[in-house]
Structure 1
Amino acid sequence: MIHAAPLPSLEALVDDVRAGRRAMLARAITLVESRKAAHRTLAEALLQALLPQTGRAVRVGITGVPGVGKSTTIDALGTHLLAQGHRVAVLAVDPSSTRTGGSILGDKTRMARLSMDERAFVRPSPSAGTLGGVAARTRETMLLCEAAGYDVVLVETVGVGQSETAVADMTDTFLVLMLPGAGDELQGIKKGIIELADIVAVNKADGENLPRARAAAGEYRAALHVLGGREAHWAPPVLTYSGLTGAGIEEVWSQVLLHRERSRLAGAFEAKRSAQQVKWMWTLFDDRLRGRMRSDPMLRAEVPAIERAVAEGRLAPTLGASRVAALLGV
């Protein structure tokens, strides 16, 4: 019979994470991903104890269309940052991992340089069942990485739909990667993603692709001019770069730092971080309620019947919600 390893003490976990011990950081992350009551209690105490060491990192969200080269870009950007003396953590928000078994694990192998460097930490997203759960665990992982001394956190969204919004809501700067050859492709871009962008960067600007990349950048600038940025103090720039050769990567990072500086000067940086904290709290609360619905025997017995009645048109959704709320005692 295999027995689970005993939980480390809170003091040992705090000391090991603060010391940047990678093995114990990984164990602490596994702890915050767990749904067991004892693990949750220890994880909450750990996060509270480490709170003074968090919040100092540059948090960058990264998204892009399939095939845009997110992993190659992150590997190139992370390597550039390591050369500058930074410590880099790469996290992922992947709601599809519950269906695919963890697609981001393949990306970890494609980030060859980062994965092998002791100054970098690459972590796949947990299979938490819902986007809210995945995002919540990723936020907590981000805090642990900051407490462990990683001063740049790159959060990659590899899912679809609301995952981009979730990543934008937990980072300071949202970087949207695009491919060369705008034209008809521009019509297929989701307006919502462009509106979230703080920086747009066109990848594969090398060799014969360079003219197409520059043309695409012009198309995206025109689109952003019409849509406008999401912040009054910042007009999202459109850059070209090559994840393969590294050309233009330095300018991408310079724009990230410039966006951070402008946000601070406008007083928006602290306000955004504060709003994200509160939103995070409510996301965790919602996740806790859903967790109770999955684990409470009475709720598991009653809720399916309520769902069927709503689905069959025998019960109004408003009344159905009231009955579920009554079972929860709210």
Structure 2
Amino acid sequence: MLSDVLGILLSFVAGLGATWVAVRHERKGESAQKSYLGTAIPPLRRPWWEALLAGLIVGFMCWTGWQLQGGSLQTRVLWPTVELWVLWDVSLSMHAVDSYVGQTKVSRLQWTQDFLSKVPEEVPGAHWALVPFAGESALAIEPTEDAEEWRYYLEQPTGLAPEPGSDLEAPLVLVKNAWKKHPPSRDHPVILFLSDGGKEPGIEPSETRLQASVRDLMALKPKMSLISLALGASTPVPIPREGQDPRRGWETNPMTGQPLYTALWLPPLRALAEVSQGKLVVVGSESPSQVWQSVHQALDQAGIPRKVQWVWSKGQEGDPRILLWAVLATMILAILWV
């Protein structure tokens, strides 16, 4: 930003310098003109504003070349017809540490936070809404294009108690009620469902009820798409107490007093994808960027149109000496011009 301002200032300084030189020569020309009155051929002089225009053009061209040095023209994919509803499991089991970001092992919750932080750059041009859920659900962010609002919320506590087990049906019912009250403004609503399946001791989601909830949404918006992201390992792992360091202990099963274990439970997530003819993505050890590629493929398979926009990707700034040459070249041009 500072370099941009500097480039603009120097370009205008060059133009002003050219103007000063031009005006000075024009005044000298006026006195010289008097001595040529009565002669057949007066001295050739150009208007001062032509020197100013030439100076500004040269300065701007040099500054532009300096700014564009090392950059490249790239394409940016926009999703202007998408309204993305993210249903985010934040229950107790999501604190289990069996996911990966690069080579680092992290909790399921941390993985989803990293993944969701990239929503504005991975689905640009769309509207985004966020519904965190555990034992209950809440509409945290209504459909928005504000990337700052989106990222700000991800850094804040969800306000939901991290209860054992997930009510997978609750966020779907919430979305249905929201759509009845305010129908999606975009043609292609997309539900991105992030969960580990919500199975805990004594708790097993009903696939039949989940599919019925999805059918209700499809009745409201036939062009709706659903993508299930399944998190967690198939091998049971203990849940750190309150999502903290495992050395502080583990969450315990209230019925046995033993450490509470959790594992990925695929059936309900698969059922969601099947009833909507959507896509099931089992995260496994994949990074957030790899999973985003799968999400983009799912959007393409659903026939959702993209819009390609050409943008200039700025590289490293060029040699500042180019700006100095811009000033010198402008001054020389002004002298020769007038």
TM-score of Structure 1 vs Structure 2, range by shorter chain:
0.3 to 0.5
* Structure with the largest fraction of helix: 1
Give the TM-score of the pair, scaled to structure 2: 0.32
Structure with max Cα Rg: 2
**Quick one: higher RCO (CA 8 Å, sep 6+), 1 or 2?**
2
Give the TM-score of the pair, scaled to structure 1: 0.32
